[in-house]
Amino acid sequence: MSSKKRTTIHDIAKKLDITASTVSRALKDHPRISDATKELVIKTAKEMNYQPNSIAAALRRGTSNLIGVIIPNIDRNFFASVVRGVEDVLNDTNYNVIICQSNDSLEKEKSNIKALLEAQVDGIFASYAKETTDFSHFEDIVNRGIPLILFDRMQDVFNVDAVVIDDYLGAYKATEHLIEQGCERIVHFAGPENVSIYRDRRRGYEEAMKRSHLSVDEDLIIHSDLKLESGKRLAEEILEWNELPDAIFSASDYAAMGAMEVFKKHDIEIPQDIAVVGFSNESFTSLIDPGLTSVDQHSKKMGQFTANLFLDRLKDKSKDHTPTKTVLNPELIIRGSSLKKVEQPQDQKIEPEHINT
């Protein structure tokens, strides 16, 4: 059954007693080919079940129509969603996407890049590994003249196109929202200080407090690894305080959720007694009760932006473009965990789709 030989333009040419070049041009709708032969060629191609060999075309043209995407892990919601955004955009073009995972390992990242370069990809989108501090392997990509765009994580030392989210602004919005709800004694669950996104989130929190003439109380800023368990532990600690806070802004949804569980168990009303806001808009935030207000990082949009930036770069590749840093505006998704005042008109509530198998 399996017809070993795939038909090529030469097969079509032979059958029609013309040359392969004519066939090639006819299929590409070249203006110099008569309509009659075009029709004939197309018809015959269909009859012979012709499928172009893009590998051959790639070799000749020097462009593979492949894009490499390097992410730490594909089964992390955020990155999967970024990839989705990339795919959404590139699916309407001739590009195919190759996915590589670094598992946050520098070695793996290097070998990924090597593999992608060998596959002659036309561009690489990457979110670098946590281990990565030296960027010479990324510079290799740029030196080869292959467009590179970093997303989510980026380093200012390395001058390259990047698409990131504004963590500072996200935290600012979250805190400002809590203040608008009447909260004044707002605890911040902060992350490790050596990670830039957590420093930015803390800055956003502090700035929002200051702008509203609320004092930034160091005792209200608690550092942890921001995991679920830490959230629970911190909540237990807070319950021992003389004076309870009236809100918590957590730099992670997980810690926020852990805290909520503990508070609920102690019959503390959310958001009446303590309002809670998280960060990342993980899918579970809309599932729990009350829904957890959170900062959405526009993961899919980030992917779309990245892909579109690449396509834009292609158009005027002539010029030596200066690398651009695109900073996406995070969005506060307001849910029950922070909505103390009467329901306000909420025109842009984006709920992640419910998923079931």
Closest to DNA by CB, 9 or 169: 9
Q: Which two tokens stand for residue 220?
A: 């209200």
Q: Give the phi and the psi of residue 72 in degrees, each rounded to 5.
A: -65, -50
- Contact between 61 and DNA by CB under 7 A: the answer reads yes
Out of 14, 30, 84, 341, which residue is the one contacting a copy of itself (CB under 8 A)? Answer: 84
294 binds, options a copy of itself, DNA, none, Cβ within 5 to 8 A by partner type: none
Cα separation, 29 vs 23, in Å, equals 10
Q: Where are the alpha helices (DSSP H) in 91-128?
A: 106-118
Interaction between residue 53 and DNA (CB under 7 A): yes
Report yes or no: 96 and 65 within 8 Å, Cβ to Cβ: yes
Tell me: does residue 32 bind DNA (CB under 7 A): yes
Does 33 engage in binding with DNA (CB under 7 A)? yes
Beta bridge partners of 196: none
- Choose the contact partner of 257 out of a copy of itself, DNA, none; CB within 5 to 8 A by kind: a copy of itself
- Judged by beta carbon, residue 211 or residue 321, the one nearer a copy of itself is 321
Cα distances (Å, whole numbers) of residue 137 to 128, 326, 328: 11, 22, 26
Among 81, 132, 175, 293, contact with a copy of itself (rule: CB under 8 A):
81
The verdict on 142 binding a copy of itself (CB under 8 A) reads yes
Closer of 26 and 183 to a copy of itself (Cβ)? 26
Residues 6 or more apart whose CB falls under 8 angstroms from that of 87 comprise 97, 303
Please state the φ and ψ torsions of residue 206, each to the nearest 5 degrees: -65, -40
Q: Are 119 and 55 in contact (CB under 8 A)?
A: no
DSSP code for 124: E
Left if phi > 0, otherwise alpha if psi is -120 to 50, otherwise beta: which for 103? left
Distance CA 253, CA 272 (A): 19
Q: Does the protein bind a copy of itself through residue 136 (CB under 8 A)?
A: no
Q: Which does 73 bind (CB under 5 to 8 A by kind): a copy of itself, DNA, none?
A: a copy of itself
Q: Are 66 and 121 in contact (CB under 8 A)?
A: yes
Beta-bridged to residue 125, according to DSSP, are 69, 149
Which partner, DNA, a copy of itself, none, binds residue 267 by CB below 5 to 8 Å per kind? none
Give which of DNA, a copy of itself, none residue 117 binds (C-beta under 5 to 8 Å, depending on kind). a copy of itself
Query: How many binding residues for DNA (CB under 7 A)?
Result: 30
At residue 38, φ and ψ (nearest 5 deg) are -55, -55
Residues at the site binding DNA, with contacts judged by CB under 7 A: 5-6, 8-10, 17-22, 24-25, 27-28, 30, 32-34, 36-37, 50, 52-53, 56-57, 59-62
Residues at the site binding a copy of itself, with contacts judged by CB under 8 A: 1-4, 6, 51-56, 58-59, 64, 66, 73-78, 80-81, 83-84, 87, 91, 96-101, 108, 114-120, 142-145, 197, 225-228, 252-255, 257, 261, 265, 279-280, 283-284, 287-289, 297, 300, 354-357
